[in-house]
Structure 1
């Protein structure tokens, strides 16, 4: 019986055809990529509320996970905030597992087969990303150069590099870590059939038609229609957002699943773009100069999530001579987080801004991609930049208490629920951006302990300090395809890491 090639074999075969010089390094990177994805998966198994794990027992030297079918998984103690690939193998009863996709297949849980395929893609794609990495040691000059230094994707998602539907040629042509130049195109759409927000530039108008920027992958695989060449651009961390040579960023619809979500642009996001941009400016003005929010210059939807685009300011417009701006995810490519003093200063800056906005009434989705930091010439963290307001949470009641008129919006962005607001900020900023920068629970806890005494005492800060830390249950979400929306788990407080309980 013929078996289809594994993801690793398929990528190797395609790579031999399109970029054979990378093949030896790809092969060399595979074991490390398996360990990196297995580490992320083990973190999920150790800390997420997966229904088929009935108990967790912390021993002197290892962690045991009891499964509903009577088997037991054994592996190392799981630091929920570690980013290094410290899990090279686990045991399912007596069987040794080094491959995360094979482990998920062996577990035989509901919806596990599809997730196993994604894990296999993530390993192969991660090895390809690392194989193509060749970054200079000096600090980059441009923001897009910083974004292209990040090879590993999401620091905690097992699908950190899963890009289903992308061939090897696609990844080399469009993945930011491969440093390509992408030739964007435009598709003409009748203006009277579009939803428009902000000022759509004359360059992208043609009489009674609007010219919508399109990603070439989207045009070829989803729209399946011709497009006119427009301008070259550099892909950023999100892959579908690209930097034009003269500065503005273009967020394109890219209807592919990356990590957890299909990355299109909904009409709701376009409709909300202008009022959110106004709100962002007002909030930034109340942070004593510590935060800038990039403005959405214009947005258009042809009333389809597959054909839409946004134009947004580059974060570089907020830098002074000698300063650098980079996404927080790129900090791990520098030596800065190795200094406890620097890490504490960065945590103090990020928490001051995040908690201030939460008190005002907005919970940022402040993960390492949306949140950027402006550094001085000697590397000190000076200010923050936030981009992409499409997934924040807004509390009309909190805004009103501070005399801020809530934007005229309804829907998923709007809530007064304190749990939802705190989950959004704490899960993205502390369990995401700060944890990923610190790289371990002890380092994160030390940074928070140094920063907290300088923060204003608020109910939100007390909630952060007194309870476990919320984080998205990323693996549970992938194994629950029929459950819409975010699902959550509770991680040990990084200020006091607690052992796993046997009744978890």
Structure 2
């Protein structure tokens, strides 16, 4: 999907930053015209934008006139507003916003030279130029040189072999089923195979481990892998295997390392989710994170997580597509070409909503069912028929969290982050379609005690990524603000609607 103000990097980078600013800080002002106008209370300025889901062309009212501002000036404006709004300074986040914009420019240039993949699933995973639509710096890549990360960027349609290491057997730490790793190469006697992400290796100093023989370089795999939207999760199609690695780079809210505490609870979490899906009737599938392997001297840095592939999970004759890609857009996107968009949407809801609600209500499994963790399989006609969910690291279990907290997280991930975006993209591409009556009907079919509240509450929880990053909160410390709930009735005319 093109950015709201053309194809340049400023427009792509401004849209999610504006979404955050308008959601979390700005106050809507009702003025006539084609723009949406807001007051920034900290700096006491009026700001107006064009577009709704992906705002662009920002202008500031100064000296009696509206003045367009580019991305650099927008970053300065946001930083000053947040300093006054919070009373805190932050020098890192503005730099990340600029880095995100520069990364988009590099990605656009790389895509212009790249060959578009033939596989529609790969196209969907590698389509996210905008990325998270409500994060101030969704494409920041740690501030490093472009040459360091661009060869591994999914948005540039890259593919590359894995680095193969041999780790001395007495230093290996593993849990679960990691046997698939032993098929990737052959280790010398007394060693075990340990694949590594080449970008992560560039970020680490393992000189001592190589020097004393704890690690040995075996070369690279004879086959290529390609990065999914998650960047550090790679797919090896020849082995039908997903591998998730540590990556010591901040991407959106977190340093993307496989943290020890998450790995140590992985088996318990994945076992619970796998059992919940096995006991639930329906077509939905869980891509199990069924084991990890690492070295005790670099437990987090060299960890690799083994995830199910697709072939044993997909319904025959179907094609998986990343839900986030459906929103962003790619060649062959069935959301755009649906002959009957209302029927397509109803089929999408039937595929995605029931399994997420069922495993929560019956088994206490809170899926992180947002756009990047959900695949939707479509039939030959492009109609959704199956949902596949992934990423045990983001799953919460009741009673480790309370049912109320788990429900709030599920509503944010499934409804606010996921269904609202799909609904908005569908309505944008098919004018006249109101997607919310069908969503209300689908949700009302399910006998959870929380559903009545969901369908009648005036608000939904929206995550505050801009304020989280500005105040230096932990990336996992979700904080929510109330957003207008489209499930209670049509609200697009409400000037606050697109704060959601």
2:460 is aligned to 469
Structure 1: which 5+ residue stretches go unaligned? Answer: 1-28, 397-413
1:68 is aligned to 42
* Cα displacement string for residues 112-159 of structure 1 (whole angstroms, at most 9, x for unaligned residues): 542222111212212322333369999944643431233332233231
1:392 is aligned to 395
- Which runs of structure 2 are paired with 1:221-370 in the superposition (5 Å)? 221-225=203-207, 227-231=217-221, 232-244=224-236, 245-303=238-296, 304-331=299-326, 332-333=329-330, 334-338=332-336, 339-360=341-362, 361-370=364-373
- Partner Cα separation in structure 2 for residue 483 and residue 273 of structure 1: 20
* Cα displacement string for residues 437-490 of structure 1 (whole angstroms, at most 9, x for unaligned residues): 233596699323213324224223223222212122111111111556222222
1:58 is aligned to 30
Structure 2: which 5+ residue stretches go unaligned? Answer: 211-216
How far residue 374 of structure 1 moved from its aligned partner, in angstroms, is: 1.0
- Partner Cα separation in structure 2 for residue 423 and residue 78 of structure 1: 29
* Residues 207/461 of structure 1: CA separation in 2 closer, same or farther (3 Å cut): farther
Task: Say if 2:478 is the partner of 1:486.
Answer: yes
Query: What SS does the corresponding residue of 1:163 show, helix, strand or coil?
Result: coil
Maintained 8 Å contact 1:64/1:74: yes
How far residue 425 of structure 1 moved from its aligned partner, in angstroms, is: 1.5
* Residues 60/98 of structure 1: CA separation in 2 closer, same or farther (3 Å cut): same
* Residues 241/459 of structure 1: CA separation in 2 closer, same or farther (3 Å cut): same
* Cα displacement string for residues 318-346 of structure 1 (whole angstroms, at most 9, x for unaligned residues): 22442101211122324432423312321
- Partner Cα separation in structure 2 for residue 179 and residue 59 of structure 1: 43
The range that moved more, 204-213 or 321-330, is 204-213
* Residues 194/342 of structure 1: CA separation in 2 closer, same or farther (3 Å cut): same
2:214 is aligned to none
1:407 is aligned to none
1:120 is aligned to 98
2:161 is aligned to 183
How far residue 421 of structure 1 moved from its aligned partner, in angstroms, is: 1.1
- Partner Cα separation in structure 1 for residue 6 and residue 31 of structure 2: 31
- Which runs of structure 2 are paired with 1:131-210 in the superposition (5 Å)? 131-133=109-111, 140-141=118-119, 143-201=121-179, 202-203=182-183, 207-210=189-192
* Cα displacement string for residues 90-124 of structure 1 (whole angstroms, at most 9, x for unaligned residues): 21645735323422324422445422221112122
Task: Say if 2:129 is the partner of 1:129.
Answer: no
2:74 is aligned to 103
* Residues 387/483 of structure 1: CA separation in 2 closer, same or farther (3 Å cut): closer
The range that moved more, 198-207 or 269-278, is 198-207
Query: What SS does the corresponding residue of 2:486 show, helix, strand or coil?
Result: coil
How far residue 373 of structure 1 moved from its aligned partner, in angstroms, is: 0.7
1:12 is aligned to none
2:213 is aligned to none
TM-score normalised per structure 1: 0.80
Maintained 8 Å contact 1:130/1:152: no
* Cα displacement string for residues 170-217 of structure 1 (whole angstroms, at most 9, x for unaligned residues): 343100122222221133434444431112323476544433221111
Task: Say if 2:401 is the partner of 1:415.
Answer: yes
How far residue 163 of structure 1 moved from its aligned partner, in angstroms, is: 0.9
* Residues 148/47 of structure 1: CA separation in 2 closer, same or farther (3 Å cut): closer
Maintained 8 Å contact 1:41/1:100: no
* Cα displacement string for residues 417-448 of structure 1 (whole angstroms, at most 9, x for unaligned residues): 40x21232121222222233233596699323
1:212 is aligned to 194
How far residue 381 of structure 1 moved from its aligned partner, in angstroms, is: 0.7
2:11 is aligned to 35
The Cα RMSD (Å) is 3.0
* Residues 286/199 of structure 1: CA separation in 2 closer, same or farther (3 Å cut): closer
Task: Say if 2:415 is the partner of 1:430.
Answer: yes
Query: What SS does the corresponding residue of 2:321 show, helix, strand or coil?
Result: strand
* Cα displacement string for residues 363-402 of structure 1 (whole angstroms, at most 9, x for unaligned residues): 1111121110111111111111111111111113xxxxxx
From 43, 56, 69, the counterpart of 1:87: 56
Maintained 8 Å contact 1:218/1:255: yes
Query: What SS does the corresponding residue of 2:229 show, helix, strand or coil?
Result: coil
* Cα displacement string for residues 236-267 of structure 1 (whole angstroms, at most 9, x for unaligned residues): 11111111232111111111111221111012
Query: What SS does the corresponding residue of 1:288 show, helix, strand or coil?
Result: coil
- Partner Cα separation in structure 1 for residue 356 and residue 284 of structure 2: 10
* Residues 440/141 of structure 1: CA separation in 2 closer, same or farther (3 Å cut): closer
